Every structure is written in structure tokens, then in C-alpha cells.
């Protein structure tokens, strides 16, 4: 089989916007099923003999541990590949690295800065590629968020989510998820920090709105969500952003406008008393650690979906 034929049959997960409603719902259902299997301690080695290669250019806690543990629980194995230890860090092209690694492993997960890099890698790889995070998108995290919202609030179509903070990769993947799944989403950001226009323009945004007023966004919300004000690679902007985002802290006063039974979510790590008060982070509405756990189950479901017919 020629490489171009292999490529045409390869499934990837680079953005949520690339997946249909049916695909997302199917993966979420599988994630709930796999979580139930795990809790009942029922073995589920569906990917026995498969190998996951994990390339990291950004540091990680949840992404690395959940993918590695998940692949082990599915009967396969995972390889941690730091970009500094690869020839990729010494000038080998992304395309050449993708072609070589594709001959060793069955699936690749990449956590990196440039979204263009992961698109280039996937374009040359002959195995499925998963976006573990780029500066533009964070689809694996948002899939876990959708799973968690379903657990706590039921069908996504009946839920209002308020996202407060930077129009970053989390906001972009949430926007794509809301647009595809029919979930109401209101994003509140300071002026000049809105989500990228190309993300907004590429979708039918009947379910998505953007405002500069966090109180308006939180009004009657079922879910209140935030993220750090300065993402990895933006550490030099931390002090500047603390001033810009000061009125966008998720705290008790802001959340008083949400529904009485709202839930608070954060992709972690959280900076208490910056983007979220300790009272909300550690309070009765917070489900951040349930949300973090679901990274494991949804990552297993994504791996199963990408590899089950290979």
C-alpha cells in the first residue's frame, strides 16, 4: 500500500471541530462505559499489544499520567518521548520524525506549542495522531469536560456553560464542542483577549456568545469554568495579565449569579486567588478532581476509537 493510501485511511484527533456530533457522542458513551468497567475492576484489554508514543514539548501532569495509565489499562504500552531527547530537537524535520515513529508505534499523542507542528506531523504520519494540547486547541481536555458535564448535569443540549478568562486553547475547543453538540456557551474575556476570529468564523455559532461582562456570562449558568490567565509559554506576561484579568476572577460574588446548583470546573493546574478564589476552588460546587479523573477515561475512549478498526 502506498503512503498516500495509508494516510487517507488514518483517523486523527487534532481538534473537536473535525469530529461530528455522532462521533463525539459515541466516544463519550464509550468513556462512561470504560469508567464503569474500571470502577468494577473488570479487565478491558481492548488494545493489547498496541503501543502509544507520547511526544512532549510542554510539561505535563494529567496528560502524561492519564494517557500512560490508560494505555496500560487497555492492555497496551506507552512510551514517553521528550522532544529534547529526540532528533527532532537536533534539526530533524517534523515530517521525517513522523514517518519514522509511525513505523514503531500504533498511535501518537503530541503535547506542543505550535498547532501547525502537529498538523505537519499528522500529515506525514501513517498512524493516528492525537492533539494532547497546542497553543490553539485542547481537545482532549474538553472531551473530558463534556463527559463530566454529562455525569453531573445530563444531556449537553440542556446545559449553559460560562467560561471566564482568556480566549485561549480551552476557549477554542469549548467553542467547537458547543457548536457541534448544541450546548449553550458564553465566553467572557477582557477586550483584546477574545477567541481567535478564525475559530469563531469557521463554525455556526448559534450556541456560542462572547461578552466582556463576566456577570452576564455567569447569569443562570449550570457550569462555571475558567483557566489560568497566562498559559505555558506566556510566563513573562503574568504580571501584566494579573492587572488585565483582575475583574474576571471566579469568586463567590460572581458565582452568586449562576444557578443555585452550579458546578465549578477548571482544567488545572489552578492558581488560587488569581483566576479562582480558594472558596470556589475548594468549595461544595467544585468538581475539578472528578473532572481531572475523567481525563483517564475519555483518553482511553479516544484511543479505542482511533485504533479499534486498525
Give the whole-angstrom CA distance, residue 146 versus residue 166. Answer: 20
Give the whole-angstrom CA distance, residue 298 versus residue 132. Answer: 12
- 232-260 tens-digit pLDDT: 677 778 889 999 999 999 999 999 999 99
Res 10: pLDDT: 61
Give the whole-angstrom CA distance, residue 85 versus residue 57. Answer: 10
Known binding-site residue numbers for L-ornithine:
169, 227, 231-232
Q: Is residue 103 annotated as a catalytic residue, yes or no?
A: no
Q: Is residue 227 annotated as a catalytic residue, yes or no?
A: yes
Known binding-site residue numbers for carbamoyl phosphate:
60-63, 87, 111, 138-141, 267-268, 295
- 52-95 tens-digit pLDDT: 999 999 989 999 999 999 999 999 999 999 888 888 757 899 99
Catalytic residue, chosen from 12, 73, 106, 111, is 111
Neighbours of 195 (CB within 10 A): 21
Q: Is residue 141 annotated as a catalytic residue, yes or no?
A: yes
Task: Give start and end residues of each alpha helix (H) in the chain.
Answer: 3-8, 21-39, 62-73, 94-101, 115-124, 139-153, 169-181, 197-201, 214-218, 238-244, 252-255, 278-281, 288-307
Q: Is residue 111 annotated as a catalytic residue, yes or no?
A: yes
Cell readout for 72 is 496500560
Q: Do the beta carbons of residue 174 and residue 161 sit within 8 Å?
A: yes
Q: Is residue 138 annotated as a catalytic residue, yes or no?
A: yes
Burial environment of residue 13 by CB neighbours within 10 A (0 to 12, 13 to 18, 19 or more): buried
pLDDT band at 200 (very low <50, low <70, confident <90, very high): confident
Cell readout for 63 is 496528560
- 264-310 tens-digit pLDDT: 999 999 999 999 999 999 999 999 999 999 999 999 999 999 998 64
Q: Is residue 255 annotated as a catalytic residue, yes or no?
A: no
Amino acid at each position: 500500500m502506498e503512503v498516500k493510501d495509508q494516510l487517507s485511511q488514518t483517523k486523527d484527533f487534532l481538534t473537536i471541530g473535525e469530529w461530528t456530533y455522532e462521533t463525539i457522542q459515541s466516544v463519550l458513551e464509550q468513556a462512561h462505559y470504560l469508567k464503569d468497567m474500571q470502577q468494577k475492576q473488570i479487565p478491558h484489554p481492548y488494545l493489547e499489544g498496541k503501543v502509544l508514543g507520547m511526544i512532549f514539548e510542554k510539561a505535563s501532569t494529567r496528560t502524561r499520567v492519564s494517557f500512560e495509565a490508560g494505555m496500560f489499562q487497555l492492555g497496551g504500552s506507552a512510551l514517553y518521548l521528550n522532544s529534547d531527547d529526540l532528533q527532532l530537537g537536533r534539526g530533524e524535520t517534523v515530517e521525517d520524525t513522523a514517518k519514522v515513529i509511525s513505523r514503531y508505534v500504533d498511535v501518537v499523542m503530541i503535547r506542543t506549542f505550535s498547532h501547525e507542528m502537529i498538523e505537519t506531523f499528522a500529515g506525514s504520519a501513517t498512524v493516528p495522531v492525537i492533539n494532547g494540547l497546542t497553543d490553539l486547541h485542547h481537545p482532549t481536555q474538553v472531551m473530558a469536560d463534556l463527559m463530566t458535564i454529562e455525569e453531573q448535569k445530563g444531556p449537553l443540549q440542556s446545559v449553559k456553560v460560562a467560561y471566564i478568562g482568556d480566549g485561549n486553547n480551552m476557549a477554542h475547543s469549548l467553542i467547537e464542542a458547543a457548536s457541534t453538540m448544541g450546548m449553550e456557551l458564553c465566553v467572557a474575556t477582557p477586550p483584546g483577549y477574545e477567541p481567535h476570529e478564525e475559530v469563531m468564523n469557521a463554525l455556526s455559532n448559534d450556541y456560542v456568545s462572547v461578552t466582556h461582562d463576566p456577570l452576564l456570562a455567569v447569569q443562570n449558568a449550570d457550569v462555571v469554568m475558567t483557566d489560568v490567565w497566562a498559559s505555558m509559554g506566556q510566563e513573562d506576561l503574568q504580571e501584566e495579565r494579573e492587572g488585565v484579568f483582575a475583574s474576571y476572577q471566579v469568586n463567590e460574588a460572581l458565582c452568586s449569579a449562576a444557578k443555585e446548583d452550579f458546578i465549578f470546573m477548571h482544567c488545572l493546574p489552578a492558581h488560587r486567588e488569581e483566576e479562582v478564589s480558594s472558596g470556589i476552588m475548594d468549595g461544595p460546587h467544585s468538581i475539578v478532581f472528578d473532572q481531572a479523573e475523567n481525563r483517564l477515561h475519555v483518553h482511553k475512549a479516544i484511543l479505542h476509537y482511533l485504533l479499534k478498526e486498525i
